[in-house]
Chains A and B, each alone.
Chain A
Amino acid sequence: MKALAELYAQQFKTTMAAMFQYRASLFIWMIGQVLEPLVYLIVWTIVSNSSGGSVGSYTTKEFAAYFIVLMLVNQITYTWIMYEFEYRVREGILSFALLKPVHPIHSDIADNVSSKLITLPIMIVIAVGLAVAFHASISPPLWAIGVFIPSLLLAFLVRFLLEWTLAQAAFWTTRVSAINQTYFVLLLFLSGQIAPLALLPHPVQIAAAILPFRWLISFPVEILLGQHTPAQALMGLGAQVAWLIVSIVLVRVVWRAGLRVYSAVGA
């Protein structure tokens, strides 16, 4: 455990150093992370204002709060592993990872957490600025803030493990971009990124809750916006824990099978 902590600390330093080399691209990445929810926010603000100040259960101010919190949750939970893994397999970089006496997922988690920690302060400043500009209203009960933290952590872990699992499609096919694209479209609609799930047709809401998508982004946002009773919140955490277990099993099974394939076609 101590050794693992040491590894994470060291990975943090490495990521820091690398990110300082990538200041410009990091900045562009962040603009993307802000711009996408901002576009939806503007669209929904216009729609809401033109239909008398609310759409369904959402007022204009609540839309603002929703998309700003969503921006932060998405920033904290997103990964880039699905873009990167194929490259690692194709270029044989994974072979180096296999030589190391530690599972490569640790470096990825550490790397991801590090870059989040570095960018988070800036994102919070942007979020506060947007909240003021769009008159976002948010008044969660105290307990909701207490539940938000674990729900966010679980959302990050589940999203990370699921995307790490999906990324391993690269072991089986050299054309992973089709899989990535399908996943990202589903994620866009079913995780609440394009519109709050409550405003989508009922069957879509059910699909989002049965599939992991709602639990990856939407749920922590719903919690912080105070949309749930304590009982509903606990149920949600339970669903997240269930998905965490499923995703841990998936990562392990797929990794083992993937390595056999990697080994069979040559690395």
Chain B
Amino acid sequence: MTTMKSPAIQVQNLRKVYTVSEQEAGTMAALGSLVRRRKVEVAAVDGISFDLAAGEIVGFLGPNGAGKTTTLKMLSGVLHPTSGDATVLGYVPSKREKSFLRQITLVMGQRNQLVWDIPALHSFELNRAIYRIPQEDYRRMLDELTALLELGPLLHKPVRNLSLGERMKCEIAAALLHRPSVVFLDEPTIGLDVTMQRRIRGFITEYNRRFGATVLLTSHYMADVEALCKRVVVIHHGKLLFDGDLSILVQKFTAHKTIEVQIGDCQADLNAYGEVVSCSDGHFTLRVPKAETARVTERLLADLPVIDLLVEDPPIEEVIELVFAQGNP
């Protein structure tokens, strides 16, 4: 893996304000809007800053509408920032220089670029011509991607006959044929089953490892983030909430620990020890303030016929929910 001194991605006070025309409900309002439209400015991204080192995989988190996709589009040159600076591989993305576009890619899990009615291989060949990939490099990359993503039987079927997961694999392959060194992934596993999610995850790790690519990834599946990203950047309402190690995020935003304790059955009342989240088959889940974890554990062991006991951080989904909740005004 390559590590370079200057960051691959630099974002400084990046802002994106959309102009949206608003209209009240009702006929009069509709007529009124013919004459004069009310324009409203919405800051989708409101002054965020972060850097990504070359070769890093970073999770970009936030609830729907937080500004994640807008940021990715600004970083890949599709949208012009309203203000602030972004550089990717030393380029200003909004200039859309050809040499820049040849080194990046953006995969949007909810959109497709493959030609719908014909086999994906045709779209691949078209991308080869568009990106001017030398025939030999193209062959090698296609073989590699085919092996990693198990594309073999899919390449010759019309795209419309592929399942969602199969299509996503082809989309990802099409986006990586030119071997980009910066990869933006917007919800690459959305709608996929658990097995397929895991396979895509494995592939992203492998691509990053093999080519030293920098990856910025958004996902609503925390399993993706836990598996792929040591570091996460969290935004909400267009503002940066957190930038750092995933484990620190958990520490910082949770004041609780979860204690899993197994006793004979669910008859016992454990409310005296902590908040009982659930119990099934004598398996209690308790939530206790972090500071009291040791004391509560000690009491549980002393007072009850404990079969098994486990102290854990709350699941990452819960942490993220807490983070987002705190971000709400």
Contact = CB atoms under 8 A, between A and B. Distances in A.
A192 B263 CA distance: 90
A10 B78 CA distance: 25
A266 B70 contact: yes
Interface stretch (A16-24, A30-38, A161-169): A16-24
Interface in B110-127: 111, 113, 115, 117-119, 122-123, 125-126
Contacts of B262: none
Interface in A20-70: 21-22
Given A9-B129, A267-B73, A99 B123 contact: no
A267 B158 contact: no
Contacts of B201: none
A96 B131 CA distance: 13
A14 B123 contact: yes
B220 interface: no
B128 interface: yes
Interface residues of B, number: 36
A265 B20 contact: yes
A13 B102 contact: no
Given A10-B129, A18-B118, A96 B101 contact: no
Interface string B86-112: 000000000010110110111010010
B130 A100 contact: yes
B118 A21 contact: yes
Interface in A46-103: 91-93, 95-96, 98-102
A102 B102 CA distance: 10
B130 A102 contact: yes
Contacts of A135: none
Contacts of A260: 80
Contact of B115 (A9, A14, A263, A265): A14
Contact of B78 (A11, A18, A98, A265): A98
A187 B158 CA distance: 37
B79 interface: yes
A14 B77 contact: no
B79 A17 contact: no
A250 B314 CA distance: 59
B177 interface: no
B106 A99 contact: yes
A118 to B, nearest CB: 14
A109 to B, nearest CB: 14
B101 A22 contact: no
Contacts, number: 82
A7 interface: yes
Contacts of A265: 18-20
Q: Please tell me the size bucket of the interface on A.
A: 20 to 34
B105 to A, nearest CB: 7
Contact of B105 (A7, A9, A22, A99): A99
A207 B73 CA distance: 45
A7 B129 contact: yes
Contacts of A91: 111
A1 interface: no
A96 B123 CA distance: 13
Interface string B133-158: 00000000000000000000000001
A93 B79 CA distance: 14
Contact of B129 (A6, A92, A263, A267): A6
A231 interface: no
A3 B113 CA distance: 21
Contacts of A267: 73, 78-79
A101 B126 contact: no
B132 A3 contact: yes
A11 B80 contact: no
Interface string A247-267: 000000000000010011111
Nearest to B94: A263
A98 B132 CA distance: 16
Given A13-B125, A14-B115, A99 B76 contact: yes
Residue among A102, A260, A263 with most chain B CB within 10 A: A263
Contacts of B128: 10
Given A98-B96, A263-B80, A18 B115 contact: yes
Contact of B111 (A7, A18, A95, A266): A95
A147 B31 CA distance: 53
A10 B126 CA distance: 6
Contacts of B19: 264-265
B324 to A, nearest CB: 22
B98 to A, nearest CB: 4
Given A10-B125, A99-B101, A17 B118 contact: yes
Given A21-B158, A95-B111, A101-B101, A264 B18 contact: yes
23 contacts: A3-B132, A10-B128, A10-B129, A11-B126, A11-B129, A14-B115, A14-B122, A17-B118, A18-B115, A18-B117, A91-B111, A95-B78, A96-B111, A98-B78, A100-B131, A101-B131, A102-B130, A264-B80, A265-B19, A266-B18, A266-B44, A266-B70, A266-B79
Given A7-B130, A22-B117, A98-B77, 19 more contacts: A6-B132, A13-B125, A14-B115, A18-B115, A18-B118, A18-B122, A93-B111, A93-B113, A95-B108, A98-B96, A99-B104, A100-B101, A101-B132, A265-B18, A265-B20, A266-B44, A266-B70, A266-B79, A267-B78
Interface of B: 18-20, 44, 70, 73, 76-80, 96, 98-99, 101-102, 104-106, 108, 111, 113, 115, 117-119, 122-123, 125-126, 128-132, 158
